[in-house]
Structure 1
Amino acid sequence: MIQRMIGLAAVAGLMTGCAAMQSTKMKQAVSANVTEKVDSKYTGPKRRVGVVDFDNKTAYGQNRLGGAAADILITELVKTGKFVVVERDKLNKLMDEQKLGMTGAIDSTTAAQMGKVLGLNAIVTGAISNFGVNTTGSDYLITQTKRQVAQATVDIRVVDAETGQVLYADSGKGEAKSGSGSFLGMGTKGGYNEGLEGEALRAAVSQLVENITSQINKKPWSCRVAEVEGPTVYIDAGSESGMENGQKLMVFKLGREIKSPTTGLVIGRTEEKLGELVLEEVMDSMSKGRMKGAARAPSSGDLARMAN
């Protein structure tokens, strides 16, 4: 009897020691489908871009995923050092005031309004067309395992803020995985890993940034005349866009829209060259200068491009 009690005590001590040495292993992997590269040489100052909240077409995550995808894209665009990205709340406020759609399709009229008011070169929008998380695992007496896989498909469109034309459209797919396991663990498997959502979206969005950059930079850089006071002309581009004192720009007055006779889509606008603007003072987000040899004075909303 005494020997039996000693044996039970030894087993209990062994189990207690094992439980105290409980270990858990975690691992996470991210992968993305590679998209076809579109090459375009970058020229000129930083482009001014707006990113609209993505439309979530899935039954997953409600409105959370659309905002998350837009935030990820904004971060990745800023990291390139080639863009000035307008804050989302400014875009949302403008769209709300103008009673424009908050997500989804951006038509030519909407793009032109946003481009003129906020001085945008391009607008990036899109949709999350597929998203899902698959969880598998096992829960045995001495071992527990869990594996989660999140998959996302993101569709993006780059829209010319002057004409409303779609410059580029593409899809990116991303996947994020996490796994955990425990030996002689006390309790059940861990809960849902929300970080997988962001990782899968980031994997899908990040691969598109290089092509977005190339497509936006195909078109010559431009900015807008913000204000005119006598001989002084203010533009909505400053040092953050790469402007410098003494820089020369050509100013144009935009006229009527030019539409394709086949599709009816706006393909451009008529332009009247007003003359050369020489910058005299450059600030963070704006600059001022004087016109040189102008036929007539420019006005707010006129277009300015780098002089050849």
Structure 2
Amino acid sequence: MKIRSITLMLLMVAVSFQVFSQEKSLKRKVAIGRFSNETQYSKSVFYDKTNDPMGKQASDILSTRLASTDKFLLIERQDYDKIVNELNTGGGVSQKIGADFLIIGSITEYGRKNIGEQKLFSSSKKQVVEAGVSIRLVDVSTGLVIYSGEAKGEAETTDKQVMGFGKSADFDATLSDKAISAAITKLVENIITKCTNNPWKAYILSVEDGSYIVSGGEAQGIAAGDEFVVMEKGKKVKNPQTGLLIELPGKAIGKLKVIQTTGNLPEEQISIATLTEGSVDAAKLDSYYVTQKK
């Protein structure tokens, strides 16, 4: 009897863990809108901000770090000005940008220095690169900055010669990558925490012959049989202190069950679902969003 009870408890823990894992497996859509170089390094008379090597380098490093966590679906959106215009239009913004969160970053500090030491029979030369990175994380559905952080990274290499023998300290271009990467790595954990603390959301794009077309598909972790809650957005009120519109908590008005997912590119994938509970007004789909069952 005791063994049976223990077995039952283990089974319940395993089922709970499976449900928990399933809830956490849905990926958030993240777009890196802009990563600029705000320092004077690598800027000449012919500098073109639309073709910024250091900014692209930092953007690629951040994309790689976020992708390696397997928690995000990354969407390439480098046309920053267009994104800002979309954010300012209000209403249905997430569908237009195609992302839940927008990351705006910049390299705020960059420096390279050589430190040498000369002794009687030996000499050493150290190259040190320091980089500072600033990042803002925007909740696309509200346009509000939900996280802002800065971090510094450092990378160095040392070459030593004894009585004229040994490796000479040549210019090491990889130190830039390492310093920027070190700074970004310090911020990634906070980005992950802020994104995953916000409820996963999707949107009803259309209603066709009783079937509900929902944004997101297999690449986000959605599968046939998944059930979601349809929420009606809360009323928006203006905060007199900040002048910003604040959306009040919404209310659950129905449930959807996924029949199938379709689409090739991750950003174009959709899910087809049926309404199993409640009712949805097809004329005001912008008033709803879909989230996980609690």
TM-score band by shorter chain is: 0.7 to 0.9
TM-score by length of 1: 0.71
Aligned-pair CA distance for 1:197: 0.5
- Contact 2:87–2:93 (CA<8 Å) still a contact in 1? no
Give runs of aligned pairs for residues 94-173 of structure 1, distance below 5 A. 95=80, 98=82, 100=84, 108-109=87-88, 115-137=94-116, 145-173=124-152
**Runs of 5+ in structure 2 lacking a partner?**
1-19, 44-51
Kindly indicate which of the two structures has a greater share of residues assigned to helix.
2
Q: Name the SS of the counterpart of 2:177 in structure 1.
A: helix
Q: 2:54 aligns with which of 40, 54, 65?
A: 65
Q: Which residue of structure 1 aligns with residue 48 of structure 2?
A: none
- For residue 54 of structure 1, what is the amino acid of its counterpart? F
- Number of residue pairs the alignment of both structures matches: 258
Q: Which residue of structure 2 aligns with residue 207 of structure 1?
A: 186
Aligned-pair CA distance for 1:161: 0.8
**Larger of the two Rg values belongs to structure:** 1
- Contact 1:108–1:165 (CA<8 Å) still a contact in 2? no
- Contact 2:127–2:157 (CA<8 Å) still a contact in 1? yes
Q: Distance in 1 between matches of 2:93 and 2:161?
A: 53
Compare 289-298 and 203-212 and name the one that shifted more. 289-298
Per the alignment, do residues 99 and 251 of structure 1 end up closer, same or farther by CA in structure 2, a change over 3 Å counting? closer
Q: 2:212 aligns with which of 233, 240, 257?
A: 233
Give runs of aligned pairs for residues 224-303 of structure 1, distance below 5 A. 224-252=203-231, 254=233, 257-268=236-247, 275-283=254-262, 285-292=269-276, 293-297=278-282, 302-303=288-289
Q: 1:177 aligns with which of 135, 139, 156?
A: 156
Q: Distance in 1 between matches of 2:68 and 2:220?
A: 14
Q: Distance in 2 between matches of 1:110 and 1:146?
A: 55
Q: Name the SS of the counterpart of 2:171 in structure 1.
A: coil
- Contact 2:234–2:247 (CA<8 Å) still a contact in 1? no
Q: Does 1:56 align with 2:40?
A: no
Q: Distance in 2 between matches of 1:298 and 1:147?
A: 66
Aligned-pair CA distance for 1:255: 7.4
Q: Distance in 2 between matches of 1:139 and 1:114?
A: 61
- For residue 70 of structure 1, what is the amino acid of its counterpart? S
Q: Which residue of structure 2 aligns with residue 304 of structure 1?
A: 290
- Contact 2:118–2:124 (CA<8 Å) still a contact in 1? yes
Greater relative contact order, per chain length (Cα 8 Å cut-off, separation 6+): 1
- Contact 2:232–2:289 (CA<8 Å) still a contact in 1? yes
Q: Distance in 2 between matches of 1:135 and 1:114?
A: 48
Q: Distance in 1 between matches of 2:249 and 2:270?
A: 26
Q: Distance in 2 between matches of 1:226 and 1:151?
A: 46
Q: Distance in 2 between matches of 1:150 and 1:300?
A: 51
- For residue 290 of structure 2, what is the amino acid of its counterpart? A
- Contact 1:57–1:127 (CA<8 Å) still a contact in 2? yes
Q: Distance in 2 between matches of 1:113 and 1:234?
A: 15
- Contact 1:112–1:161 (CA<8 Å) still a contact in 2? no
- Contact 2:205–2:214 (CA<8 Å) still a contact in 1? yes
Q: Distance in 1 between matches of 2:74 and 2:95?
A: 15
Q: Distance in 2 between matches of 1:295 and 1:224?
A: 12
RMSD: 3.4
TM-score by length of 2: 0.74
- Contact 2:261–2:270 (CA<8 Å) still a contact in 1? yes
- Contact 2:33–2:83 (CA<8 Å) still a contact in 1? no
Q: Name the SS of the counterpart of 1:288 in structure 2.
A: strand
Q: Distance in 1 between matches of 2:221 and 2:191?
A: 20
Q: Distance in 2 between matches of 1:167 and 1:296?
A: 31
- Contact 2:158–2:169 (CA<8 Å) still a contact in 1? no
